[in-house]
Amino acid sequence: MSQIDARLAELGIELPAAPAPAANYVPFVQSGAQLFVSGQISANADGLILGKLGAGMTTEEGAAAARRCGLSLIAQAKAALGDLDRVKRVVKLVGFVNSTAEFTEQPKVINGCSDLMVEVFGEAGRHARSAVSAASLPLGVAVEIEAIFEIA
């Protein structure tokens, strides 16, 4: 068992299956020592996590949705690499939050994913990040996040 797999087990985290692309793109691309993972949308075992922050969805619910995006990002990295111990660093996350014009807590929402990366990868999980609002997201989901990983 890899160190990261052991860490996931210790945290009681079970990764979902790596989601298939919903359109004409690939889920990940490796270029040199970097792995680019396409945007992962908020979903759980029950289906898509839909909603708009600032219009019936709380910041805490949004952060939970962002955490689910993070689980899918890690699942995609595992599908691409086979072994999560090959992740040397989470380089950058770009998070999109389906929110009203008045909602201003996008960073707190995307913290759901950022916190997960640090829980799982430790110091190597600390990353650069963007957290922006979107008037809508694909399929009406609450959050979408993409990632760049440095790999061995």
Taking the C-alpha atoms of residue 132 and residue 138, their distance in angstroms, rounded to an integer, is 15
Contact (CB, 8 A) for 22 and 43: no
Evaluate whether 71 touches 120 at the Cβ level (below 8 Å).
no
The three-class DSSP label of residue 95 is: strand
C-alpha to C-alpha distances, 25 to 29, 79, 122, 143, nearest whole angstrom = 10, 16, 30, 19
Structure tokens at 121: 């990868």
| Structure confidence by residue, pLDDT tens digits, 65-77 | 999 999 999 999 9
* Of the options 3.30.950.10, 3.90.1640.10, 3.30.1330.40, 3.30.2290.10, the CATH number for the domain spanning 3-151: 3.30.1330.40
Q: Quick one: which H or E segment has residue 92?
A: strand 87-98
Q: Are 93 and 145 in contact (CB under 8 A)?
A: yes
* Rounded Cα–Cα distance for residues 51 and 55 (Å): 8
pLDDT for the residue 22: 84
| In contact, 134 and 99? CB cutoff 8 Å | yes
Tens-of-pLDDT digits for all 152 residues of the chain?
A: 899 999 999 999 999 999 999 899 999 999 999 999 999 999 998 999 999 999 999 999 999 999 999 999 999 999 999 999 999 999 999 999 999 999 999 999 999 999 999 999 999 999 999 999 999 999 999 999 999 999 99
| Angle (nearest 5°) at CA 43 between 24 and 34 | 55
Nearest to 57 by CA among 73, 70, 42, 74: 42
